[in-house]
Chains A and B, each alone.
Chain A
Amino acid sequence: MIEHLPALMIAVPLFGAFTTPLFKKKPRAAALWALSITAVTLCLGILLVKEVTTKGMMIYVFGASSPGLVLPSGYHVPVRIIFEVDAMGAFMALSAVLMSFIGAMYSYSHVKFETGLEKYYALLLLLEVGILGMVLTGDLFNLFVFLEIAGISGSALVGFRNYRGEASEAGLKYLIVSAVASLMVLFSIGLLYGEYGNLNMAYLSTQIGFNTVDIIALGLLFTSFAMKCGAVPTHYWVPDAYSEVPAGINPTLLVATYASLYALFRVSFSLFGKVTLTMSSVGWIMSVIGVLTMFIGVTMALVQKDVKRLMSYHAISQTGYMLLGVGVGLTVINDPAKMAAFGRDAMAGGIFHIINHIIYKSLLLMTAGALFYVTGTRNLNEMGGLARKMPYTTIAFIVGAAAISGIPPFNGFASKFLIYETSYQLNPLLAIFAMVTSILTLASFVKVFASAFLGPPVEKYENVGEVPKPMVAAMLILAALCILFGLFPNIVLNKLVYPAVDALLNLSGYQTWGGVL
């Protein structure tokens, strides 16, 4: 069974997505079914990570019994769809399966009064399929297909509460933005296919000569994935989508956003990895966009009064840290001395920040969802004194807020620590912006804490209480992960993050499918 893990990672949630509508008349059963499917996928994800980190890259070929069969005699190019799972892909897959499970658990209570829940859970599982496909595939066209699956299911979920005009508008905006980005990705794939007659990323990476057409393809792929991951100044869709999507979907939608970031890294390090000299300019572009993203994101967050919109702007801001960390690594990719001195650690900081951010931002968006569940509003001006009524949500919020602000010993600190130090070595100004952003992040969450949780009790919330147990459990699991990842960062770094960084840097390993070719 182990050798079929990459395929099962897609097949199980896909099966779940198509069978969930059968529970149309039993929404509770649909919720439990989706929860079970995400739990099974989580177990498969853990097995996949274990397999990849202990035995190396996994290659799975569709339509052949072994990877070698993708090379028919006399025609030595791969023609079949291949899943190429290295440590970076496995790392992203683990984030996706974990957050889908947590999201399904939270949704069990959070959306129980909504109608059309069978569609909700089917779409949640489809979104998971889209993300997993994007991070596991080794085929460029396949990447586009899964990007589309994630985009369409994501936009349907953003507009799920279609009785709210804002949700329908946000869903439509997300759909348009996703469609434009996907169209340009498809156009770039067409350019590369037209030139090299192949869609396998590993094969293409060996062939790319970096002529003008290749540069146009790189530019379009870079811009499209940058927009899909919410980089400034193409970030405008993020607050719309994150604010309106039900809080139980926020974790998975967050991973979907970072699946595009993964695609951006894959394009930069693997597909175009051969042309290292030009990629250092791409690294500078990535770092500068990262700084702009973190600063503009946080300053916009500071002025928001809608709690979910505020947190959405923080999601943009935190994406900047990831772009900065990996951008610093990409900038020094053709300088082995600098790469060894700080480039690898910078990339580790950026990639570690992905999972840290997924954990604490999901937690914070869930606490925002809990506030909405209890008060029926997202307006911070109308909240106050809720700490007494919602003690567990308050604790979860404090942990999440401390983690996102980079306060030790929570997980955000560990990755930011690496990013500050390494970006300083490239250019001190980058580190200064990163630190100022952290201070403003803390200021922003102090505002949320003071307005929603502290202060005298508000009369109309006199009779409210803590949110239901499944929501509390989901939040506390994430809060515990924030603390554990912060207390033992070395374990996560050594077991998950550095293997992922090395997988990105090991171009020859990727090009030869881990030595199979």
Chain B
Amino acid sequence: MSWLENLTLTSPSGYWNPVLWLAFLIIFAVIGYIVYSRGNRRYKPNTEQVKPFISGNAVDDVEQIRVRASDIYWGFMEALKGYYNVLMRMHTGDVRDYILWYLGVGAIILFILVGGV
């Protein structure tokens, strides 16, 4: 089994072995396939069954009902509005601010090192 041990990455309190991981993956894939194979056999692709149903209204253009990137995680951003307001104010895109931040950080690091904090 030394080849298996060779593949084992040990850390201070655990280990990671890709072969074991693959073995588990195969087991779960088999379980998944069994569940899938016992699914509803009346399903027919490319028929009325698979069309989106929105309260019986006709759906014309699917492109228009896409969830766009800007809308994904809208709730997350809304919940963290205060945090994002601060972040956005920091990211001005002005190169003079970039240098100011550099000077500020440099001053703090020097203060810590020279002051021996």
Contact = CB atoms under 8 A, between A and B. Distances in A.
Contacts of B14: 417, 421
A59 B84 CA distance: 50
Contacts of A342: 12
A493 B106 CA distance: 34
Given A233-B101, A282-B113, A409-B22, A459 B63 contact: yes
Nearest to B76: A302
Given A223-B106, A299-B83, A299-B87, A493 B9 contact: yes
Interface in B79-117: 80, 83-84, 87, 90-91, 93, 95, 97-99, 101-102, 104-106, 109-110, 112-114, 116-117
Interface stretch (A211-219, A360-368, A396-404): A211-219
A285 interface: yes
Contact of B84 (A220, A303, A456): A303
Interface residues of A, number: 65
A486 B18 contact: yes
Chain B interface mostly: helix
Interface string B6-44: 111101111010100110000000000000000000000
Interface of B: 6-9, 11-14, 16, 18, 21-22, 62-63, 66-70, 72-73, 76-77, 80, 83-84, 87, 90-91, 93, 95, 97-99, 101-102, 104-106, 109-110, 112-114, 116-117
Interface stretch (A67-75, A140-148, A234-242): A234-242
Nearest to A306: B69
Chain A interface mostly: helix
Given A227-B102, A414-B9, A219 B109 contact: yes
B12 A180 contact: no
A409 B19 CA distance: 9
A241 to B, nearest CB: 11
B72 A447 contact: yes
Contacts of B13: 421, 425
A117 to B, nearest CB: 29
A482 B63 CA distance: 34
Contacts of B16: 408, 413-414, 417, 489
